[in-house]
């Protein structure tokens, strides 16, 4: 009969101890071992967690959990030596969030809090609430302490609230199970402030920390090129019934991968070379290379570093390079060097 119960336990996706151990007791044992962490918990501790049951009930619970996929560390410690159980792997039916997954979620949320982009933050905040309901007590306390001691500053803030109805239509068109649908947009241009309506094929949503914005990258059939639309400037959106067609995915993928601060061009990519000196910049760039397309950072003799990355448009690299002031020199391409020189002359003229 014990073997029959074991076979049932193995086949069940949920804790099913038959008449040997109630499922709720299996859950209590699993949580007690999980909460004990690296120090582990003894059988006597598990007896107390179960409210004073017989020792054989604990033995059966541990055996059933192992048959259902759990793996426990068992270390003998003390005098007399007692087995301390630690959790190495939860059973397949366990729905708890792993500490590594919760850490990744928390880091993502901290980054998005720093950029104040409500689109992604609100969605992940919902996942945080869900994850908190599936954390052990020990791990929940750990992450509460983490939140109190970690801060992120220095990114751009996108303070414009997103229209929920607009966003729903964008997501419906983008995530259609049979492929993206055409999307009709009413969009306010940043340069002129004018509003226009166009029909596009959505390709992907991106978030650029450099510019602090969430964007929709889409194919514009009228202009036959990729276009970037800042979500906060989309005034209305309507998912259409027609399937969207993108004749060539290569330009879309280039636009996604090579944009800098939301800027890109359909033109062929070029390589940017920048020498950076100064007291602190070189080591800072070596410690934390900027997240630019194809970035490499190489230390040079004399204490400078050589940055190399890809771009398709001049405005993005210019914005990035200007932060270094007189400590940076553009080496290539010639067009970017000349563009930066014109920009600096115009800046200097304002201070005469």
Structure confidence by residue, pLDDT tens digits, 110-166: 555 555 455 555 656 666 665 666 566 666 666 666 555 555 555 555 555 667 788
| Residue 37 tokens, joined | 């962490």
Q: What percent of the chain has pLDDT over 90?
A: 41
String of b and e for 9-34 (b: at least 16 CB within 10 Å)? beebeebbbbebbbeebbbbbbbbbb
CA distance 240 to 253: 23
pLDDT of 178 reads 84
pLDDT of 318 reads 94
Per-residue pLDDT for 21 more than 80?
A: no
CA distance 317 to 286: 18
Peptide linkage before 333 cis (omega within 30 of 0): yes
| Residue 263 tokens, joined | 């800027």
The CA distances from residue 26 to 32, 44, 319, in Å, are 10, 16, 58
Backbone angles phi, psi at 309, to 5 degrees: -155, 170
Backbone angles phi, psi at 272, to 5 degrees: -105, 130
CB 37 within 8 A of CB 46: no
Give the three-state DSSP class for 306. strand
Confidence of residue 10 (pLDDT cuts 50, 70, 90): very low
Entry pTM: 0.59
Confidence of residue 13 (pLDDT cuts 50, 70, 90): very low
String of b and e for 86-124 (b: at least 16 CB within 10 Å)? bbeebbebbebbebeebeebbeebebbbbbebbbbbeeb
Least-confidence region, from 153-157, 280-284, 303-307: 153-157
Per-residue pLDDT for 285 more than 50?
A: yes
Least-confidence region, from 145-149, 256-260, 303-307, 323-327: 145-149
Per-residue pLDDT for 170 more than 50?
A: yes
Per-residue pLDDT for 3 more than 50?
A: no
Per-residue pLDDT for 46 more than 80?
A: yes
pLDDT of 9 reads 40
The residue behind tokens 């059939």 is: 221
Q: What is the pLDDT of residues 201-211, one digit of tens each?
A: 999 887 766 66
Angle in degrees, CA 317, 266, 294, rounded to 5: 45
Least-confidence region, from 35-39, 122-126, 214-218, 286-290: 122-126
Q: What is the pLDDT of residues 52-102, one digit of tens each?
A: 888 999 999 999 999 888 889 998 888 888 899 998 888 877 766 666 566
State the chain's mean pLDDT as an integer.
81
pLDDT of 139 reads 65
Task: Give 184 or 24, the one with higher predicted confidence.
Answer: 184
């Amino acid at each position: 009969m014990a073997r029959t119960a074991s076979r049932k336990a193995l086949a069940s996706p949920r804790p099913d101890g038959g008449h040997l151990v109630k499922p709720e007791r299996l859950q209590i044992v699993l949580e007690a071992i999980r909460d004990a962490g690296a120090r582990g918990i003894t059988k006597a501790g598990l007896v107390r967690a179960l409210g004073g049951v017989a020792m054989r009930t604990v033995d059966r619970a541990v055996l059933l959990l192992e048959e259902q996929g759990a793996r426990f560390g068992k270390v003998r410690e003390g005098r007399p030596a007692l087995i301390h159980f630690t959790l190495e792997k939860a059973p397949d039916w366990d729905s708890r969030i792993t500490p590594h997954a919760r850490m990744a979620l928390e880091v993502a949320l901290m980054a998005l809090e720093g950029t104040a982009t409500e689109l992604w933050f609100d969605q992940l905040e919902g996942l945080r609430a869900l994850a908190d309901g599936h954390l052990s007590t020990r791990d929940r306390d750990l992450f509460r302490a983490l939140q109190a001691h970690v801060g992120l500053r220095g990114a751009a803030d996108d303070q414009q609230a997103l229209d929920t109805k607009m966003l729903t239509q964008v997501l419906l068109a983008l995530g259609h199970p049979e492929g993206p649908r055409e999307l009709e947009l009413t969009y306010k241009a940043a340069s002129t402030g004018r509003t226009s309506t166009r029909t596009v094929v959505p390709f992907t949503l991106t978030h650029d920390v450099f510019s602090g914005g969430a964007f929709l990258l889409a194919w514009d059939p009228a202009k036959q090129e990729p276009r970037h639309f800042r979500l906060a400037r989309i005034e209305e959106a309507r998912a259409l019934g027609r399937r969207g067609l993108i004749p060539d995915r290569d330009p879309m993928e280039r636009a996604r991968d090579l944009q800098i601060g939301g800027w890109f061009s359909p033109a062929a990519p070029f390589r940017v070379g920048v020498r950076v000196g100064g007291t602190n910049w070189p080591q800072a760039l070596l410690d934390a290379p900027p997240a630019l397309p194809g970035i490499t950072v190489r230390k040079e003799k004399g204490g400078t570093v050589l940055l190399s990355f890809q771009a398709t448009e001049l405005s993005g690299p210019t914005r990035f390079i200007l932060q270094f002031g007189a400590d940076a020199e553009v080496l290539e391409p010639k067009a970017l060097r000349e563009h930066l020189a014109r920009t600096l002359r115009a800046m200097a003229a304002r201070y005469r």
